[in-house]
Amino acid sequence: MSPGELPELPRVPLVLAPTPLHLASRLSTELGTEVWFKRDDLTGLGLGGNKVRTLEYLLGDALAQGCTDLVTGAGAQSNWAMLAALAARTVGLVPHLVYYGEEPAPSGNLLLAEKICADVRFTAAPDRASVDSALAELADSLKAGGRKPYVVPRGGATGLGALGYLRASIELAGQLAGEGVRPTQIWVATGSCGTQSGLVAGQRFLGADYDVVGVTTSRPRDECVARVSALQDEIGKIVDLGPATAPAPTVLGGHVGLGYGLPSPAGEQAAAQVAQTEGIFLDPVFGAKAMAALIQTAREGTTTGPVVFLVSGGAPTLFTQPAREEDPL
């Protein structure tokens, strides 16, 4: 493989690429900062979302290994888990989803996962990490029954999965060149850190001069920095990213609110502003909080455009009734 080339790896084409890139003109005027939207809420599978890009490489690997089942998990309203199960069905793999906590009434992503007949189970433990050991136990059980499971950690955050957003960076670079735009920053909500890792790898791969700004929506900032850095090492074993040393990834904290999966007042205000100016709905768990951070820094004058905001999807979570910050836990 020559420098600057992506390796030929098994990949299942799932994304209706390229997803649109367009100027958010009214929002830009209100913020005094030029903002462009990369519409990965329109990736095509199901109701769309960023995780579809991750799944292209992971499912390609699963099929290449001759696997029969996909095993993964997260929270009951996980966009990742639902899309993983849906994508698995389309390529003939049996999907198994492990969620933490007690089983709630089906709605949003959980309802959709059940509609496609995914094998759904709950750990009954409130800790998200309870999913990890449960995935291993389920995989062992499937193997004992003669199956060949493909196990993916929460969020699909692996070096291989992150290649989806390295590939997306190349796609985006072509669109930006066509528009004559040189962004200063790419903004993204950061949860399991796979998407930001792929975008950072893409920036390094292309030698681009923009910064990738992740807004943590579920983990402490330092943990996200460590996870993105570790995933860079994984990606670097697959793709030549150029110089071995790279600056620490940019991750902004302070926007999680009361916790993962809970809307924040600032996020809800940001989502309403985007809906009213651009006609785009941001999900309350990821996109809305990242947009709140962008709006805050733009108003403070610490963000100057043009910037690109990745609209990462998550539409099913708009049809749930999560607790609000003022609600008691």
Could you read off the pLDDT of 258-302 as tens digits, one per residue?
Answer: 888 888 999 999 999 999 999 999 999 999 999 999 999 999 999
How far apart CA 276 and CA 27 sit, in angstroms, is 9
| Residue 141 included in any domain | yes
Domains of the chain: total: 2
Statement to judge: residues 181 and 297 lie in one domain: yes
Choosing from 120, 135, 156, the residue where a domain stops is: 156
Statement to judge: residues 312 and 171 lie in one domain: yes
How far apart CA 69 and CA 72 sit, in angstroms, is 10
Statement to judge: residues 242 and 147 lie in one domain: no
pLDDT digits (tens, 9 = 90+) for 136-194: 999 999 999 999 999 999 999 999 999 999 999 999 999 999 999 999 999 999 999 99
| Residue 227: both structure tokens together | 């996870």
Q: Which domain holds residue 104?
A: 54-156
Statement to judge: residues 166 and 270 lie in one domain: yes
Statement to judge: residues 70 and 205 lie in one domain: no
Statement to judge: residues 306 and 173 lie in one domain: yes
Supply the angle between the helices 51-64 and 159-179 in degrees, to the nearest 10: 130
Statement to judge: residues 40 and 91 lie in one domain: no
0.85 surpassed by pTM: yes
Cis peptide before 247 (omega within 30 of 0): no
| Residue 327 included in any domain | no
Statement to judge: residues 45 and 58 lie in one domain: no
Taking CB atoms within 8 Å and a gap of at least 24, the contacts of 254-260 are 254/293, 255/215, 255/216, 255/217, 255/289, 255/290, 255/292, 255/293, 256/216, 256/217, 256/218, 256/289, 257/289, 257/325, 258/325, 258/329, 260/75, 260/128, 260/191, 260/217, 260/218, 260/219, 260/285
